[in-house]
Amino acid sequence: MDELSQLDKLKIVISSSRPPYVLSKHDYERFRVPHKGAAYFFMFYENGISTHGVDFQPVTVSEGELLFILPNQIHNSPPMEDGIKFFTLSFAQNLLSLFPQQFLFLINPLASPKIEFKHPARQRIVSLFEVLNQLLHAPDRENNTEIILAYLGSLMTEFNTAYFSGTKVDGSNRNEISIIIKFKLQIERDLKMRPSVASIASKLSISESKLYKLVKCYLGASPKEYLIQRLILEAQRMLYYDGGSVKELSHELGFTDPDYFSRLFKKQTGKTIGQFLLLVQDLSGKHMD
């Protein structure tokens, strides 16, 4: 990302299929290579349709939709296709500290890696991307940091608003989503310690039954199932990026029995760890063909 950054102060990369700042196929291929890092990535489709891989799951993105990739997720992009119009944006995780507000969609409490925009919002999204593209390609861009941040903040606000637009984020719903956000944050903090559902519920000051009901409703799994899914996903990411032995991996994720961990991995993914590693190798340089 540092090599492609258009603004050294903020580590922002923005590109488009639109002239005059067209993303070259060479640079697009560099974006396609998954790498472990603390950057966010967004891709908005003006038109066309493509299927991406996000943590080994297919995600189809089409006209008027935004794909967003969180730090350390495994993102496999399809090859660049003629006729598809898009904008991409990437920035370092620490940039978020420069905004006065939080963008809660980045925690992905609704468990969806894409956002759909209605037509008026689509026009605003395109306009904001165009202005940011111009600002980041301007010779004096290093002197326009505050302006760039203002437009980027507006763009992120559009993303955040659209993400929650299908839910009534008020009253009890606002409280429910707040609990889901806190639940996911607690899981991320304590993941490798394999916290119990009871301990998580206690930290969130709610009953286990209420936690079960909310997590099942919003995330499609029980709290225990979600924790196991998240642990196995972390194992997949670690194998993908770092490799390592089963014993080392199971120990790092809080499992004392490597054999149990291996059985759990197969149950969750349908593959043994060895088969998964072969799949990673078959991704041809770690991207989808």
Residue 289 belongs to a domain: no
Residues 89 and 179 reside in one and the same domain? no
Contact call for residues 151 and 132 (beta carbons, < 8 A): yes
Residues 208 and 276 reside in one and the same domain? yes
Kindly state the tokens that stand for 4.
């492609």
Residue 2 belongs to a domain: no
**Domain count of the chain?**
2
Q: What average pLDDT does the segment 256-267 reach? A: 94
DSSP β-ladder status, 85-92 and 39-47: antiparallel
Residue 46 has pLDDT above 80, yes or no: yes
Q: What average pLDDT does the segment 12-17 reach? A: 88
Residue 38 has pLDDT above 50, yes or no: yes
Instruction: With H, G, I as helix, E, B as strand and everything else as coil, classify residue 115.
Output: strand
Q: What average pLDDT does the segment 36-50 reach? A: 89
By mean pLDDT, which of 96-110, 249-263, 272-286 is the weakest? 272-286
HSE-CB of 55 using CA atoms within 13 angstroms = 20
Q: Using 50, 70 and 90 to split pLDDT, how confident is the model at 168?
A: low
Tens-place pLDDT, residues 175-197: 899 999 999 999 999 998 999 99
What CATH number has the domain bearing residue 153? 2.60.120.280
The predicted pLDDT at position 8 comes to: 59
Specify the pTM.
0.86
Residue 7 belongs to a domain: no
Residue 101 belongs to a domain: yes
Residue 144 has pLDDT above 90, yes or no: no
Residues 59 and 199 reside in one and the same domain? no
Residues 153 and 214 reside in one and the same domain? no
| Structural domain boundaries enclosing 267 | 171-282
Residues 199 and 144 reside in one and the same domain? no
What are residue 102's phi and psi, to 5 degrees? -95, 145
Sheet (strand 12-16) strand order: 12-16, 85-92, 39-47, 65-69, 114-116
The predicted pLDDT at position 9 comes to: 62
Tens-place pLDDT, residues 72-106: 899 888 888 888 999 999 998 889 999 999 999 99
